[in-house]
Amino acid sequence: MEKKSTKYLKYAIGEIILVVIGILIALQINNWNELRKQKLLKINYLERLSNDIKQDTLNINKVVYEINKNQDCISNFIKTIGTENNTVSLDSAVTSYFERGWIISEFSPISNTYTDLSQTGNMKIIDNSELVDQIIEYYGYIDIIEKSNSINKDWITSIDIEVAQETPAFQLDPNTRQLFAHKNLDNAIKGILDNKDLLERNAAGHYWINESLSNNLLAIKGVTKELLSNIEKELDAIQ
């Protein structure tokens, strides 16, 4: 009986050991799968961030290009209404200003991935703290630029409204001038010249806003370049 008991005890212990080993193996496999999922998720987020920031860079270049065209138009407008008396030249400069100079440029970043990371708590998946700080800093700069431009837009809009109310702006705006074809063009130009100070102030305001946005966007391109480089390094290290 003692021999049988010893045999059963050894068998039971062996079974327990096998069960424990099986559990440990299962836990290890599960842990490995979780790490693999985390790695794939991290790669996915970093690739998406990289694509978003690259698209931001392209959009920055487009916005800055359009701003430069707007600035040329504004400069020509201010110069022309200050020196020209020729109706044709004035009409061309004024029309161009209301067509392009009045445009309030905007930069709309692609922040879906960053919003996802921030709101879901998945930012912790990126275990490179320096890279995380850079990502947060980049989108912090973007937020500041957007808020600054929004404040500037609110400020210039009041002057735009004054121009629309006090001058024949709609008569010369390319989008609406066909509605006023029955009215005299010379009188419209005279109405512009009579309000030259207001229009110069309006144009200068738009110029300043454009310059502010352009400078901010060009400054952030330096941050963008370094951030993209560090994201690529992190991806290389993972893969």
- Per-domain residue ranges for the chain? 2-238
Q: Which of 17-31, 75-89, 103-117, 222-236 has the lowest mean pLDDT?
A: 17-31
The mean pLDDT of the chain is: 89
More confident residue, 74 or 86: 74
More confident residue, 162 or 13: 162
pLDDT of residue 4: 57
CA–centroid distance for 151 within its chain = 16
Select the highest-mean-pLDDT range: 15-24, 45-54, 77-86: 45-54
Q: What is the pTM for the complete model shown?
A: 0.82
Residue 77 in this model has a pLDDT that exceeds 70: yes
Residue 215 in this model has a pLDDT that exceeds 80: yes
More confident residue, 192 or 12: 192
Nearest partner of 110 among 73, 148, 142, judged by Cα: 142
pLDDT in tens, 90-144: 999 999 999 999 999 999 999 999 999 999 888 988 989 999 999 999 999 999 9
pLDDT of residue 9: 66
pLDDT of residue 33: 74
